[in-house]
Amino acid sequence: MEIVRFNKVIFEKNKLTIHNDITIDEWKELGRGLKQIEGSVQFWIGDWARYGDKRGFTGKYTDPKVYDELEEITGLQRQTIRVYKSISENVDSNQRLPNLSFGHHREVASLPPEKQEQFLQLASEKDLSVRELREKIRRNGIKESHPDLPIGKFRVIYADPPWKYSNSMPEYFSEQANHYQLMSIDEIAAMDIKSLAEDNAVLFLWVTSPILRESFKVIDAWGFEYKSSFVWDKIKHNMGHYNSVRHEFLLICTRGSCTPDNIKLFDSVQSIERTEHSEKPEFFREIIDTLYTHGRKIELFARKKVEGWEVFGNES
C-alpha cells in the first residue's frame, strides 16, 4: 500500500501518523472517519467479490480454486469472503444505511426487500444494537422460511445445523451464513425431530469444537443418546481463539437400538482436504450408507438431493 497523505494525517499500511498541529475537533473527526472505514470494509469486499463474479473474473464459485485465489488476494478466509459476498447479493446497496453496521444488514439479509427496509429503518431510528434488531425480527415472527418437516418416520438422520456461535464471534460469521439463517441452540433443539425418528434410529450430527458441549442439549431434545464420533481432519487450517482449527466432529447418536447393519469399521479420523466452506465431504455419506443399508434416510439442512435420501432444507 502506498503512503496516502490527507490533510494533517499520513496513512500507511501499518501505521497512522498525525501532525502535531491537529486540533481536537479535527482529531475527533478523524476518529469518526476511521470508524466509518472499519465498518465499510465488509461491504466493499462483498461488492468487489460480487462484481468479479458478474464479470466472470473469478470463474465459477463452485470451483474451490476460486476461493483459494480470493483468499490469497484479500488475506481473508474463504468463509468470510462468502459471507461478505452473500450480504452484498441479498441486501441491495440502495437499502443499506450508513449508520448501521454490517451485522445489522446481516440480520435482515434473508428477509424480503420490503421487510429489509422496514427493519433497517427501525434499527436506525431507534438506535438498535444488532442483538436488539434480531429480537425485533423474532418477536414479529419473521424468520427465513423453511419447508415443513417431511411426513413419516426415518431410521437414519443426517444433520448439519446452522449453529449460531457465541458473542465472541463476529455477528456476520457462521458455518452456513450464506445458506441458512443462523439458529440458536434452543431453536435447533425445539425442532420436532423426535416425530421424524423411528423408535430405533441413528443420528449423525455435525458439530464444531466451540459448540461441542451445547450440542448435547440438541441431542437430548431430539431424543437421542451420544455413542461415538468421527473426526474430519480438513488438512487446511482455520483460525480459532485457542488453536488453529482443522477438524470437525460427526457425532453418532442412537435412539433405541440401532447398531450398524454392516460390521465394517471405518477409521474414526478421516483426512480429507476441505473445499467449499462447510460443505461436508460426500465420503461421510458413503460411510453412513455402508453402515446402514436399509431404512428411510433423511438429511436435515440439505443443499442438494441425493439418490436414496429424502431432504429437508431451503437449498434443496
Per-residue pLDDT reduced to its tens digit, 289-314: 999 999 999 999 887 888 889 888 75
Most confident of 57-66, 111-120, 306-315: 111-120
Between 43 and 166, the higher pLDDT residue: 43
Q: Is the pLDDT of residue 144 over 80?
A: no
Q: Are 43 and 90 in contact (CB under 8 A)?
A: no
What confidence tens digit (pLDDT) does each residue in 151-192 have? Answer: 788 999 999 998 876 544 444 444 444 456 678 898 899 888
Q: What is the mean pLDDT of residues 195-214?
A: 93
Lowest mean pLDDT among 2-6, 90-94, 115-119, 245-249: 2-6
Q: Are 160 and 300 in contact (CB under 8 A)?
A: yes
Between 80 and 105, the higher pLDDT residue: 105
Q: Is the pLDDT of residue 53 over 70?
A: yes
Between 112 and 277, the higher pLDDT residue: 112
> At 287, is the pLDDT very low, low, confident or very high (cuts 50, 70, 90)?
very high
pLDDT of residue 222: 96
Most confident of 5-9, 31-35, 171-175, 185-189: 185-189
Q: What is the mean pLDDT of residues 257-272?
A: 94
Compute the mean pLDDT over every residue in the chain, rounded to the nearest whole number.
Answer: 83
pLDDT of residue 19: 86
Q: Is the pLDDT of residue 5 over 90?
A: no
Q: What is the mean pLDDT of residues 260-270?
A: 94
pLDDT of residue 169: 47
pLDDT of residue 258: 96
> At 201, is the pLDDT very low, low, confident or very high (cuts 50, 70, 90)?
very high
Q: Is the pLDDT of residue 217 over 90?
A: yes
- Single-letter amino acid code for the residue at 29: E
